[in-house]
Amino acid sequence: MDFQLTERQKEFINVVKEFAEKEVAPIAEEIDRNYRFPEELVGRMAELGIMGVAFPKEYGGMGLDYISYAYMLEEICSVSPAVGTISAAHNSLCCWPIYHFGTEEQKMKYLPDLLKGKKIGAFGLTEPNAGSDAAGQQTRAYEDNGYYVLDGAKCFITNGGYADVFVVMAMTDKSKGNHGISAFIVEKGDPGFSIGKTEDKMGIHASSTTELIFTNCRIPKDRLLGNEGEGFKVAMQTLDGGRIGVAAQALGVASGAFKVTKEYIKTGTRYGMSLAKSQYIQFQMADMATKIRAARLLILEAAERKDKDLPMGLNSSMAKLFAAETAMEMATKGMNIIGDTGCVSGSPIERFFRDAKITEIYEGTSEIQKIVISSKVLKD
């Protein structure tokens, strides 16, 4: 592992850091309080290349890599995990499967607008009865006169209410189990496709999470992504990379929670003594700083393997598991140290506390990561 950053990576990360500090942080509390999807920030992320970080320039991307992508998400999520998740779902879950599994025509049709942030992407896998059991897809698709017709519904779809392009999994042949699932590209405005309920969530309020409804939704046959029956593989490989993004998001939550806790400790007093002089507090800070560093190293290892095209499902699951647990721990410890003022709605630690939990859930719960990790570890 060699995590020395190139000048180009450093330059990009500095631009993102400045964007996070100067443009995201000042409105982070307001967009959370008002459950407001920050379209103006999506426009700025597009200008800065954040909507197409690790994709080649020939398709409109930044021509960077997953290491830069991970740092980018950490920086943004350290001030607003909700804003980070908009970019993560777009990059990892929509752009990547189109880039990796798409035909040249599909790539040229969709990627330039997506990677330039003119369009927003989303990923439709989860259903009410197919969350952790992703193979249990009930949305079905069948061929009809040069079209596929989709019927069913998806839930908890990040970016759902604002996305233009959706990568959607549906069952084309139930008798074949996971080999009967296929992936499709669905566009906003396709006949029979609509957005259902918007979720009122505990955290990441400024991101959009909705149902997707397919009622005799007709899409041209050339919207099949990959081969028929390969949809489960498309979904699993997409999630292998997506979990690096969620891990980086969790690391951002952990770093953000650590930062506000440290600021409180540096200025706070108890019983007339500076909090920073308490050895109990010092030990807490030492544990927190060490876990944050360990999470970052796991993420960078997974990102580096992805950049080198090496198998990294084990690494991304370990990174997500550890980083998400670290996010929860940092937010909880921070809340305990800050105490009553931290519990007030709108305080930064209260927001991080609410935003941390989802990182243990989406793109595979911590238990799913343990299934992936143990199945690979036991194979050796």
CB of 69 to ligand CAA, least distance (A): 16
336 binds ligand CAA (CB under 6 A): no
Q: CA torsion, points 198, 326, 247, 377, in degrees to nearest 10? A: -120
Q: Which of residues 90-119 bind ligand CAA (CB under 6 A)?
A: 93
37 binds ligand CAA (CB under 6 A): no
Per DSSP bridges, beta strands 269-270 and 224-225 are: unpaired
The pair of structure tokens assigned to 86 is 């908009």
- By C-beta, is 237 or 332 nearer to ligand CAA? 237
- By C-beta, is 268 or 364 nearer to ligand CAA? 364
- Residue 363 is a catalytic residue: yes
- Interaction mask 150-179, ligand CAA, x per CB under 6 A: ------xxx-------------------x-
DSSP 202: S
Dist CA 347 CA 353 (whole Å): 10
Q: Which helix (H) or strand (E) holds 213?
A: strand 209-220
Catalytic residue among 40, 228, 363, 367: 363
240 binds ligand CAA (CB under 6 A): yes
129 binds ligand CAA (CB under 6 A): no
Let me know: does 137 contact 170? Beta carbons within 8 Å: yes
Query: Which residues neighbour 337 within 8 Å (Cβ) at sequence distance 6 or greater?
Result: 261, 264, 265, 275, 281, 284
198 binds ligand CAA (CB under 6 A): no
Dist CA 367 CA 380 (whole Å): 20
Pick from 26, 30, 29: which is nearest to 18 by CA? Answer: 26
**Out of 25, 153, 195, 236, the residue judged to bind ligand CAA by CB under 6 A:** 236
- By C-beta, is 12 or 214 nearer to ligand CAA? 214
89 binds ligand CAA (CB under 6 A): yes
**Sequential DSSP letters for 114-136:** HHTTSS-EEEE--BTTBSS-TT-
274 binds ligand CAA (CB under 6 A): no
Place of tokens 């992805």: 306
CB of 260 to ligand CAA, least distance (A): 26
CB of 376 to ligand CAA, least distance (A): 9
| Contacting range for ligand CAA; rule: CB under 6 A; set: 122-130, 263-271, 297-305, 344-352 | 122-130
285 binds ligand CAA (CB under 6 A): no
Let me know: does 334 contact 255? Beta carbons within 8 Å: no
The contact set with ligand CAA (CB under 6 A) reads 89, 93, 123, 125-126, 132, 134-135, 156-158, 178, 232-233, 236-237, 239-240, 313, 362-364, 368, 371-372
Active-site amino acid positions? 363
